[in-house]
């Protein structure tokens, strides 16, 4: 299965600077592709476009030759965010957060080291690393074909980082899920990825801050793609 971005052009409004211009990428589901770029160079914006949260001004995203927007229901391209506390509904217990995924195999939380008693807790009662494990499990539903990991281990201790990445490599390889990993850490991407793509500095200017694009609503990450 192939995920393609073709000639993407994007800015956050008329008169704003271009964040992406003429960007193309092809990734196969047998690959783990690393996107390398300094902070603020449009990586998160690109991930949002690749996973259907943002529409490009020009260009298109295709999965198996079909526009991503034509896939109804559960989106086969799932994103794991850098800040897990912004990716879950603070008023939901973790078992319900997990249930938002597409029939997540019960073995996945187990493999991620999620303890049974965490399921009854609220997000605020878990550490960042514990919360991120839930977000990863939720993103690995039955219908997931590609996974986008946007700086997902930046805030975590080294042991947790290692556990999470080892699991992701094993699980995506076993299921034939493509992985696109974003990081400013060259060493991490070299350890995790089968190839790397460099995003150039000029893709984004003046370190745009997209505070309005954080996602608090619990269904955001698994919302149905609209027409």
pTM of the model: 0.83
Q: Is 90 domain-assigned?
A: yes
153: nearest Cα among 176, 179, 184? 184
Q: Is 87 domain-assigned?
A: yes
Per-residue pLDDT tens digits for 140-179? 999 999 999 999 988 888 888 899 999 999 999 999 999 9
Q: Is 66 domain-assigned?
A: no
Give pLDDT, residue 40.
66
Residue 191 structural domain? 29-52+72-205+214-222
Q: Is 18 domain-assigned?
A: no
Mean pLDDT (the chain, rounded):
86
Q: Is 60 domain-assigned?
A: no
- Residue 39 near residue 185 (C-beta atoms within 8 A): no
Q: Is 3 domain-assigned?
A: no
Phi first, then psi, for residue 202 (nearest 5°) are -70, -5
20: left (phi over 0), alpha (psi -120 to 50) or beta: beta
Give pLDDT, residue 202.
40
Give pLDDT, residue 219.
37
Q: How far does Cα 4 stand from its chain's mean position?
A: 16
137: nearest Cα among 166, 173, 155, 113? 113
Give pLDDT, residue 72.
87
**What is the total count of domains within the chain?**
1
- Residue 74 near residue 12 (C-beta atoms within 8 A): no
Q: Is 23 domain-assigned?
A: no
Give the DSSP letter string of 200-224: PGGGS-TT---GGG---STTGGGPP
Q: Is 110 domain-assigned?
A: yes
The CATH number of residue 113's host domain is: 3.40.50.300
Q: Is the pLDDT of residue 112 over 70?
A: yes
- As a whole number, mean pLDDT of residues 180-195 equals 91
Per-residue pLDDT tens digits for 56-87? 999 999 999 999 999 988 899 999 998 999 99
Distance CA 201, CA 40 (A): 9
Three-class secondary structure assignment of 38-85:
CCCCCHHHHHHHHCCCCCCCEEEEEECCEEHHHCCCCCCEEEECCCHH
- Residue 103 near residue 142 (C-beta atoms within 8 A): yes
With H, G, I as helix, E, B as strand and everything else as coil, classify residue 147.
strand
Distance CA 119, CA 97 (A): 9
Nearest-5° angle of CA 203, CA 205, CA 206?
A: 155
Give the pairing type, strands 195-198 and 32-36.
Answer: parallel
């Amino acid at each position: 299965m192939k995920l393609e971005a073709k000639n993407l052009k994007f800015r956050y409004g008329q008169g704003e600077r271009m964040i992406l211009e003429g960007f193309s990428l092809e990734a196969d589901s047998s690959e783990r592709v690393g996107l390398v770029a300094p902070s603020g160079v449009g990586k998160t914006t690109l991930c949002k476009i690749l996973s259907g949260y943002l529409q490009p001004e020009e260009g298109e995203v295709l999965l198996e030759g079909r526009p991503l927007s034509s896939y109804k229901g559960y989106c086969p391209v799932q994103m794991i965010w850098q800040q897990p506390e912004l990716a879950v509904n603070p008023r939901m217990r973790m078992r319900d957060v997990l249930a938002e995924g597409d029939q997540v195999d019960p073995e996945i939380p187990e493999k991620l080291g999620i303890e049974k008693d965490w399921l009854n807790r609220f997000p605020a009662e878990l550490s960042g690393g514990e919360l991120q494990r839930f977000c990863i499990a939720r993103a690995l539903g039955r219908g997931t074909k590609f996974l986008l990991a946007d700086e997902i281990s930046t805030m975590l201790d080294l042991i947790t980082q290692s556990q999470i990445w080892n699991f992701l490599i094993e699980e995506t390889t076993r299921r034939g899920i493509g992985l696109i990993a974003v990081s400013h850490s060259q060493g991490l991407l070299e350890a995790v990825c089968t190839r790397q793509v460099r995003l150039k500095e000029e893709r984004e200017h003046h370190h745009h801050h997209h505070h309005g694009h954080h996602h608090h609503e619990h269904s955001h990450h698994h919302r149905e793609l609209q027409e």
